[in-house]
Amino acid sequence: MISKYKCYPLKNFINQIRGVSYKKNQISEKTIDGYIPLLRATNIQNGEIIYQDVLYVDSSLVKLEQKLRKGDILIAASSGSKEVVGKSGQANEDCEYTFGAFCKLIRPKQNINADYLRHFFNTDYYSRTILQSINGANINNLRNEHIDDLMIPIPSLEIQSKIAALLNKTQDVIKCRKAQIDLLDQFTQSIFFEMFGDPETNPNGWEYKKLSEICQNLDSKRVPITSSERKKGIYPYYGASGIVDYVDDYIFDDNLLLVSEDGANLLSRVTPIAFEVKGKIWVNNHAHVLKFEHLSTQRFIKYVINLQDISHLITGSAQPKLNQKNLNSFMVPYPPLELQNEFYEKVEKIEEQRKVFESSLLELENLYHALLQKSFRGELFSEEEVSII
């Protein structure tokens, strides 16, 4: 890694801890006396550890060092998907949670700031190096040496603390913006439930229709582009959970509903799996593309999909997938179009405000990314400045 700070192998500053191995009869989906929660790769989402949707493992299999401590970084170490391997999240406190064998724990030593280390795992250098390390493997495994041999810039602990504080504050603002978006979503959901009831139970007895009866599936027009083949441009490039890049061309120019086709989020539902898009865009093969005759129906169905349990339509465990056949066969309640139009008009202003917040969120995330790269290149703080202070 190129930096004004001197770089050292990461193994000088961490200990790596293997996950818990277990047999089928030593694991449970429900809490049992003598069992403790076990985290998996699916519990690592957007740089954070999600403590819901866990398994439970016999505590006699768990060593003391395999319980999470404050500052520990949990990493997905093995997966059939290269996109999953290497993703990380940090524990905010000591807790009675452990982790499975497909993950590993990075425990910082006393000679490094734990938050500084956490931000290092968000750098382009880290993600790029890990991807290069696992390329070519049929089963993508992150070995100890892949982590140990990473070169990390090491300024003084005082500068590490200043860098961590700056990046933490930026992330705090990002979390606040996300919280505002969540509040808007809760408001629109309350309007939805007031007008239509729970789509799971359909209390108003609306007619049921297959999704394929009320929209056109445009999946055949999708074109995936590998990151190395993409040319930077102004057009959003969408994947399973939203915009993943910007490219120099587009394949759709319309109002559309995109629905996640694969990924752990199909089950964890950390972010919405259905989202509306408009204008010139490119879509890869990780998101279904649906075209509706009426925008009001498009919006109604977006909420139905995001609010309803669709786990029965999802196949695969290591890599959950919602295939086109199952999506097309999804039975949805279909109220009168007049009521759909009324819902659309009620939430339109809220949706417009949400887009403003989303745009602001993107700017904040870009700011964090820029500060992150500059921090580890040594372009924000110098040892001389700190000594003067």
Calculate mean pLDDT across residues 269-289: 93
For residue 88, which of 53, 154, 43, 55 has the smallest C-alpha distance? 43
Angle among Cα 351, 354, 359 to the nearest 5 degrees reads: 130
pLDDT in tens, 122-174: 999 999 998 888 765 556 788 999 999 999 999 999 999 999 999 999 999 99
Check whether 235 has a pLDDT greater than 70. Answer: yes
Give 258: exposed, middle or buried? Use CB within 10 Å, 0-12, 13-18, 19+.
Answer: buried
Residue 332 one-letter amino acid: V
Could you tell me which residue, 115 or 140, shows the higher pLDDT? 115
pLDDT of residue 273: 94
What is the band of 112 on the pLDDT scale with cuts at 50, 70, 90?
A: very high
Of 34-43, 192-201, 238-247, 265-274, the one with minimum mean pLDDT is 265-274
Sign of CA pseudo-dihedral 155, 158, 159, 162: positive
Interacting residues of 89 by C-beta distance below 8 A, sequence separation 6+: 43, 44, 45, 47, 48, 49, 50, 73, 74
Angle among Cα 81, 84, 90 to the nearest 5 degrees reads: 165
pLDDT in tens, 357-387: 999 999 999 999 999 999 999 999 987 654 4
How many percent of the chain have pLDDT more than 70?
A: 97
pLDDT in tens, 183-217: 999 999 999 999 999 999 999 999 999 999 999 99
pLDDT of residue 244: 87
In terms of average pLDDT, the best of 96-105, 131-140, 218-227 is 96-105
CA 76, CA 98: separation in Å to the nearest integer?
Answer: 13
> pTM score, two decimals?
0.80
Give 114: exposed, middle or buried? Use CB within 10 Å, 0-12, 13-18, 19+.
Answer: buried
For residue 160, which of 126, 127, 96, 113 has the smallest C-alpha distance? 113
Check whether 49 has a pLDDT greater than 60. Answer: yes
Check whether 388 has a pLDDT greater than 60. Answer: no
